[in-house]
Amino acid sequence: MILERARAKLNLALHVRNRRADGYHEIETLFAFVADGDEVCLTDAAAPSFAVSGPFAAGLAHEDDNLVLRAVRGFDAAFGVQPPSAIDLIKRLPIASGIGGGSADAAATLRALARRAGVASADARLIAVAEALGSDVPACLLGVTAIGGGRGERLREVAGLAGTPALLVNPGVTVATRDVFAAWDEIDRGPLPDGDAATIAREGRNDLAVPAKAIAPVIGEVIDALDRLDGVTLARMSGSGATCFALFGTMAQRDTAGALLRAAYPGWWCLETVLS
C-alpha cells in the first residue's frame, strides 16, 4: 500500500497579467501548501478500481471521470500500462474551492504511481503528464512554496513560511474558475513584488478576488470576517475562490479565531492548519 497526502494549495498572491491567444491567462502566483488535505491510497489489485470517501465524497459520487483517473491514464501513456491498482481517495477538502483539491489529488496519484514504478519525482515525463492535467497540478506535484509563471506551470522554489499558523474558510459555495477568469477586467496591475515569500505575500494581491466577489458576494463577507480577527497578519482569497485564508502570528490566535468563526458562521467550513 502506498499512501500520499494531497495537501491543500494556497495562492498567497495571484497576479493576472494578460489573456493569452490560447484562451489561458498569463499569471504570476506564489504557491504555498498546508499540512492537511485529502489522501490517496494505492494498493495492488487484481483489477483496477476507484473509491472515494470522506466529508466531501458526495461531490464526486456521480462523476464517471475525474482528475485521479485521468492521472492514471496519463501515467500509463507516458510510462507504459501499469499493473492494476485499487485507488481510494479520502476527500477532506471542499470541491471547486480554490485550494487545488482536484489538482492535489491528481498530483498525489502521480506520486504514488511513480513510487511504485520507481520513477523519479523530477522525471520530465512525469512533469509533462502533470502539466497536461491542469495548470495547478505541476505545483501540487512539486509540493513546496514556489513562484508560478505562465499558466502556473513554470515553477521556481522560494524560501517559504513553514510553520506559519493558518485558518482556511469556505462559505459553502462553489465558483467556476472559468467564470471568474472571464470576469477579470483585463487590467494588468503589475508583477509580483521581489523578495522572499513573506514579502511577496504581504505586498502582493489576488486579482481574481474582485470578479469572484461579484459572482459570489459571500466571499467578501469571509474576507471581512477574517480581517476582524485578532492576530491576523494576512487575509486573502485563494485561487479563484471561494476558499479564503488567514495567516496568524501564533497557534493560539489561530485556534481562538477558528472557534469564533465556527460559532458565528456554523455553515462555513473551517480548517486550522499550518503552512508546510
15 in Cβ contact with 190 (< 8 Å): yes
Q: Give the model's pLDDT for residue 160.
A: 84
Bridging pattern class, strands 85-90 and 25-44: antiparallel
For residue 201, give Cα distances in angstroms to 65, 70, 234, 251: 35, 32, 8, 19
pLDDT of residue 61: 75
Which residues lie closer than 8 Å to 81 by C-beta, 6 or more apart?
none
Q: Which CATH number fits domain 165-274: 3.90.230.10, 2.40.50.100, 3.40.47.10, 3.30.70.890?
A: 3.30.70.890
| Residue 60: per-residue pLDDT | 84
Inter-residue contact 25 to 184 (CB < 8 Å): yes
Q: What are the cell numbers at 216?
A: 459570489
Distance of CA 187 to the CA centre of its chain: 25
**pLDDT score recorded for residue 249:** 97
Give yes or no: 9 in active site: yes
Task: Name which CATH class applies to 2-157.
Answer: alpha beta
Is 136 one of the catalytic residues?
Answer: yes
Q: List the catalytic residue out of 36, 136, 207, 213.
A: 136
Domain with CATH 3.30.70.890 in the chain: 165-274
User: Residue 65's pLDDT is what?
Assistant: 86
List every span in the chain annotated with CATH 3.30.230.10: 2-157
The pLDDT value recorded for residue 133 is 98
pLDDT at position 117 = 98
What's residue 59's pLDDT? Answer: 85
* Average pLDDT for runs of 10 along the chain of length 276: 98 97 95 98 97 93 86 98 97 95 97 98 97 97 98 95 98 96 97 97 98 98 98 98 98 98 98 98
pLDDT at 63: 72
Backbone phi, psi, residue 2, to 5°: -120, 125
